Amino acid sequence: MNTKCPREWRHERTVAQTADDAGCDEPSVLRERGQREVFCGLTGIIWMHRKIQDAFFLIIGSRTCAHLMQSAAGVMIFAEPRFATAIIEERDLAGMADANEELDRVVTRLLDRRPDIKLLFLVGSCPSEVIKLDLSRASQRLSAQLSPKVRVLNYSGSGIETTFTQGEDACLAALVPSLPTEAADAAPSLMVVGALADVVEDQFDRMFKAMGIDNVRFLPSGSADNLPPVGPNTHYLLAQPFLADTAWHLEDRGAKRIAAPFPLGEEGTTLWLRAAAETFGVSDEVFDTVTAPGRERAKRAMAHQSERLAGKRIFFFPDSQLEIPLARFLSREMGMVPVEVGTPYMHRDHLAEELEMLPSGVRLSEGQDVDKQLDRCRADAPDLVVCGLGLANPLEAEGIATKWSIELLFTPIQGYEQAGDLAELFARPLVRRTRLEV
Contact residues toward ligand SF4 (CB under 6 A) are: 40, 42, 61-62, 64-65, 68, 125-127, 157-159
**What is the smallest separation between the CB atom of 85 and ligand SF4, expressed in angstroms?**
9
Closer to ligand SF4 by Cβ: residue 123 or 192: 123
Under DSSP, is residue 73 helix (H, G, I), strand (E, B) or coil? helix
Q: Cα–chain-centroid distance for residue 169?
A: 7
**What is the smallest separation between the CB atom of 322 and ligand SF4, expressed in angstroms?**
20
**What is the smallest separation between the CB atom of 173 and ligand SF4, expressed in angstroms?**
18
Closer to ligand SF4 by Cβ: residue 41 or 325: 41
**What is the smallest separation between the CB atom of 127 and ligand SF4, expressed in angstroms?**
6
Closer to ligand SF4 by Cβ: residue 62 or 305: 62
**What is the smallest separation between the CB atom of 262 and ligand SF4, expressed in angstroms?**
26
CA distance linking residue 201 with residue 267, whole number of Å: 18
Sign of the C-alpha dihedral, residues 206, 208, 210, 213? Answer: negative
**What is the smallest separation between the CB atom of 361 and ligand SF4, expressed in angstroms?**
36
Q: Which amino acid is at 47?
A: W
Other CB atoms closer than 10 Å to residue 161's CB: what's the count? 18
CA distance linking residue 243 with residue 201, whole number of Å: 17
Closer to ligand SF4 by Cβ: residue 158 or 270: 158
CA distance linking residue 367 with residue 382, whole number of Å: 20
Closer to ligand SF4 by Cβ: residue 157 or 220: 157
Closer to ligand SF4 by Cβ: residue 44 or 382: 44
Closer to ligand SF4 by Cβ: residue 37 or 424: 37
CA distance linking residue 124 with residue 119, whole number of Å: 16
Is residue 322 within 8 A of residue 408, CB to CB? The reply is yes
**What is the smallest separation between the CB atom of 25 and ligand SF4, expressed in angstroms?**
38
CA distance linking residue 269 with residue 267, whole number of Å: 5
Cα–Cα distance list, 102 to 108, 114, 236 (Å): 10, 18, 40
Other CB atoms closer than 10 Å to residue 313's CB: what's the count? 15
Q: Which position's Cβ is nearest ligand SF4?
A: 159
387, with CB counted inside 10 A (0-12, 13-18, 19+), is: buried
